[in-house]
Copies of this chain bind each other. A is one copy, B any other.
C-alpha cells in the first residue's frame, strides 16, 4: 500500500495541471489519510497543497491534516480562511488539537484557539497546563463514562448517544458520582452481555492507571507490559481525567527510543526527522559533545607524552596502541549498550548491580583470555616470523597480551557500572554509552599498557 503513493505523484501533478478536480477527488477518497498526507508532502508545493486539501471530504481532511508534518500544517493553516480553519479544528480530537497548538508559532496558535468552540478551547487549555513529557500532556479527555448502576441496555444507549466523537469507545470507564474510577467495561463485554445486567456486575475492577504527572515513558511502558490499547489517567484522588490511546503511546515509544539512540551516539536529541533538520541544528546537536570528548581525549594524549622515554626505548610498542585502545573501547561499549537497553526495558535495576558486575567480570575474563591467545599467536606468527620484526619478542608479546586481558576487564567493569550509577543518581544512563566509555577506557588501557611495559621490559 505504501508503495502506491510514490508512483501517484506524477499522475496527481498532471491532473492538477489539467484542472481535473473531480478525477482527483475520486482518487483521493479511495486512499488512507496517512498515505494522502505522504503524497501531499511529496508534492511540497505551496500552491497545489491547499488546492488538493480542499478537495477532501471534511472528515478525511481532518484525519489527513493530523498525519502531516508541522511545517506543512502551518503552511496549510496560513492558507486557510477562518471558516476553513474552524472546520478542520472542529473535526480534530482534543489530543490532536493539543499537539497542533504545541507545534505552531504563537500567531497561528491564537488563530486556532479563536476558531475552536469554547468547550474544545477549555479542554485544550486544560491539557496544555500539564508539563511536557507527562501522561497529562499526552491524554485526550474524550472517553465514554458509565455509571455502575446502569444496565447494559442503558450503557449501549449512552454510547450510541455520545460515542461518535469519542477517540475510542472500545473501552468504557465506570465512575461514581465523584468521578472516581471504579472499573472498565469493554464494548466486547457489553455486546456479549444480557441487556438487563447492571454494569457493576460485568465491569473489570482491576484497572491499570497512571497519574497525570507520571512520566510519559513510564506510562507507555505499561502498554506493552499489560497488553493495553488504552490507559486511563487519574488525578491524585483517583478521579478519571483522561485516557491515553495506544497510537499515541506508540509514537512516544518511537520518539523516546530515537532519543536514547541519539544520546548513545553522543548527540543531543532533536525531535525532527533527519532530513528536516537544518545543518546548523545538526551542528548544535553534535558539536558540544565532540568538543567535550576531544578535551577528554587530550588527557589520554598526556599519558602518552608522560611515557615518551619508555616509548622511545621500545618504539615497537607504539604500533599496538590503536589495537589496545579500540579493543578496550569496543568491550566497554558492548557492556554499556547492553546494560543501558536493559535499564530502559526494566530488565535491570540498581539492586541487580552485583549480579551484573559479577557476570561482566566472568565474561571479561573469558573474552580477554581468548583475545590475548589469538593475539599472541598473531604476534608470533605474523609480526615476528612473517614480517621478520625482531623487536616483537616473546616478552613484548606478553606485555601486549597481559594488557589486553586487563583492558577488557577494566572496560567491561567501567562499561556496566557507569550506566547503572547514572541511573541511580537520576541521570540518563544513555549518556554513559560508547563515546564516554571509549574515552575513559582509552586512558585506562594506555596507563595499564605503559605500566606493564615499564615493569616487565625494565624501561
Which residues does A use to contact B, with CB under 8 Å?
1-2, 30-32, 34, 156, 159-160, 163-164, 169-170, 187-188, 191-192, 205-206, 208-209, 222-229, 246-247, 250-251, 253-254, 257-258, 261-262, 264-267, 273-275, 279, 282-283, 286-287, 289-291, 293-295, 297-298, 300-302, 304-305, 308, 311-312, 315-316, 318-323, 325-327, 329-331, 333-334, 336-339, 341-342, 345, 347-348, 352, 355-356, 359, 362-363, 366-367, 370-371, 374-375, 378, 408, 434-435, 438-439, 442, 446
Pick the contact of A326 from B229, B297, B302, B375 — CB < 8 Å? B297
Contact residues in B for A160 (Cβ distance below 8 Å): 191-192
Give the chain B neighbours of A191 by CB distance below 8 A. 156, 159-160, 163, 169, 187, 191
A451 to chain B, nearest CB (A): 17
Q: In the complex where A224-B247, A262-B341 touch, is A300 in contact with B326 (Cβ < 8 A)? A: yes
Interface centre among A160, A302, A318 (most CB of B within 10 A): A318
Q: Please tell me if the beta carbons of B163 and A326 are within 8 angstroms of each other in the complex.
A: no
Query: How many of these chains are in the complex?
Result: 2
Partner among B282, B319, B370 whose Cβ is within 8 Å of the Cβ of A302? B319
Residue of B nearest to A251 (CB): B224
A220 to B106 CA separation, bound complex (whole angstroms): 36
Q: How far is the CA of A301 from the CA of B319 in the complex (A)?
A: 4
The 13 listed contacts between A and B (C-beta, < 8 Å) are A2-B222, A163-B191, A187-B191, A227-B250, A261-B341, A264-B264, A266-B330, A275-B347, A279-B363, A290-B327, A290-B334, A290-B367, A308-B319
Contacts of A297 in B (CB 8 A): 322-323, 326-327
The answer, among B312, B330, B355, for a CB contact under 8 Å with A435, is B330
Chain B, Cβ-Cβ closest to A375: B294
